[in-house]
Amino acid sequence: MASKAVLLLLGLLLLVTTKFSSADDEEQLILKAPYAKVPTPAPANAPAPAKVPVKAPPTPAPVTKTPPPLPPVTKPLPPVTKPLPPPLPPVTKPPPTLPPFTKPLPPVTKPPPTLPPVKPPAAPPLPPVRSKADCIPLCDQRCKLHSRKRVCMRACMTCCDRCKCVPPGTYGNRERCGKCYTDMTTHGNRIKCP
């Protein structure tokens, strides 16, 4: 698009320069020819000029009297009112005297009858463990959800063999097997039995 504009501009420049350069080369043909004077006919008796009517001077416009100036308009004064009496101080009522506050008495309720303490149902007795063979199904049940089942089984078998007990469930309830099971620790003083 820009190239078209440049080409157009160059074309116009070329056209203008050739036009002016050719205008200088033209020969001007100037002929000096004698012209004959054309005789003018003699004027015939011209009629006398018509008389111009004389116009009367314009009459001056009648003089009109300007109306007299109007008196200035004044607003009527507002009626005189009596000044208001000074405002009275606000009337304040003394606060009412209330009787001293007394706490309401709580309603009398009868204490619930005392019942003997309810003992939780006794857990079924743990199956007796007589040999290492009795520990296998108990330790298998205890370690079935453990992430490292073989490590859990090895520790559980050791504890079962020594304490002759395996707690029920997969976790917790260690106190059911007594102090032997809860107090058994490793060399690093960590709890040994799962």
pLDDT in the model for residue 114: 78
pLDDT in the model for residue 147: 93
Share above pLDDT 90 across residues of the chain, in percent, rounded to a whole number: 14
d(CA 126, CA 190): 25
Question: In 10 A of CB 187, how many CB atoms?
Answer: 6
d(CA 77, CA 73): 12
Domain-wise residue ranges, the chain: 132-183
Q: Which two tokens stand for residue 157?
A: 């078998």
pLDDT in the model for residue 30: 61
- Helices (runs of H) and strands (runs of E) counted in the chain: 4, 0
d(CA 11, CA 5): 10
d(CA 194, CA 151): 10
pLDDT in the model for residue 35: 62
pLDDT in the model for residue 29: 56
pLDDT in the model for residue 174: 87
d(CA 38, CA 7): 58
Q: Which residues pair with 185 in a beta bridge?
A: 191
List of E strands, the chain: none
Closest by Cα among 156, 158, 151 to 167: 156
d(CA 54, CA 57): 9
* Ranges of the chain with pLDDT below 70: 20-58, 60-65, 67, 120-125, 127
